[in-house]
Chain A
Amino acid sequence: MIVIVIYISFIILYGMIKKVNCYESFKEGVSSNFKILLDIFPNLLALVFAVEVFTNSGIIELFNEYVKFISIPIEIIIQAFLKPISSSSALVMMLKVFKTFGIDSNISILSSIIQGCSDTTFYIVTLYFSCVKIKNYKYALKVGVLTDIITFLLVSLFFIFFIL
């Protein structure tokens, strides 16, 4: 946690040196993020509903039989699959993994890394291109998805061979 303390102190000290009204800036940042939050909530509600129904249907037990040999639980695979599509639903999966396997277990660490190492590819591509009204994505989606897949494979292989 010391990293966080250093990081936060650095930001505030830098602001003080530059004579910024830190208090006002902080408040402004909070209120501008409030609007973003209101956009997130409907999304989150819909996705938590779908992901909960999906993951509690017994599909995890069903597939865990088949994927036992790779020692990575199906939850992680579902999370990695959801991550490029929707960050919130992958987040739901990550919190589920935290609960099932214990937060400090290696599986949970792997889950955190997967959550952090890539972004919501489909969302980003559609958002940015719709802002400039371009419909031809060329190879943008291919590059994004391939990057996600290869990174996921590399990270999980690393975990399978060295940590799990």
Chain B
Amino acid sequence: MNKIWCWLLIIGIFISLITGKINNLGNIMIDSSTKAFEIFFQTGILILFWGGLFQIAIDSGMVKRFSNFLKKPLRKIYPELDFESKAYELICSNMVANMLGLGAAATPMGIAAFKEMAKDTKNGIPNRSMLTFIAINCSSLTLIPTTIISLRKLNGGSTNMNVILMMIIATSISTFLAIALDRIFYRRSKV
């Protein structure tokens, strides 16, 4: 992260030297903190608002209820995991939370699930379920992209059904790809 941050700055300054935009750069540097605050305000309010709503969903047992639906289909994805284990339940909740667009609230559940799975690792080598779990989490499974819809709204745009549908298809593709790639790499690592 450190490297990327520094390189973005160095390359930026270097290129503006070449393109002659260096005079403008001071303004941009100073304005950037105001801009950061604007973005923080916009997204921050959203995170708070949705965080509040999702707390209701968690407290009312809605997330648990939905995660029961996921239990059976997930069995194929995590063949090594005990069906009755606590880790399995946590994985399902994490997945539902992600699907509903909880984002921030899903992470603690995910970490709990990950710790649970890590209990039977040896020599600091992650087991298969852990790697599958990471792959799926990286691909993002948001079925209701609340943040993006709200952000578009705040910036004066609209999001019609087609766009939401496209988003759902795109995340499904990425999740499917993640599962497939995870399988391929697992087979390769075994040989």
Contacts and interface: CB of A to CB of B under 8 A. Distances in A.
B189 A33 contact: no
Please classify how large the interface on chain A is, using the bins under 10, 10 to 19, 20 to 34, 35 or more.
Answer: 35 or more
Contacts of B137: 119, 124, 128
Contact of A139 (B8, B28, B107, B185): B185
Contacts, number: 297
Nearest to A149: B177
Interface string A34-46: 1011001100111
B181 A128 contact: no
Given A11-B56, A143-B135, A104 B181 contact: no
A64 interface: no
Contacts of B18: 58
Interface in B135-168: 135, 137-140, 142, 144-146, 148-153, 155-159, 161, 163-164, 166-167
Interface in A29-83: 29-30, 32-34, 36-37, 40-41, 44-59, 61-62
B29 A139 contact: no
A140 B130 CA distance: 9
Contacts of A61: 19
Contacts of B185: 139, 142-143
Contacts of A136: 124-126
A116 B163 CA distance: 11
Given A58-B15, A124-B137, 19 more contacts: A3-B164, A11-B56, A30-B48, A33-B48, A44-B40, A56-B12, A57-B14, A57-B21, A116-B148, A118-B174, A119-B137, A124-B138, A125-B134, A129-B126, A139-B189, A140-B126, A143-B134, A144-B178, A147-B139
Interface of A: 1, 3-4, 7-8, 11-12, 14-15, 17-18, 20-22, 25-30, 32-34, 36-37, 40-41, 44-59, 61-62, 84-86, 88, 91-92, 94-95, 98, 103-104, 108-109, 112-113, 115-122, 124-125, 127-129, 131-140, 142-144, 146-148, 150-151, 154-155
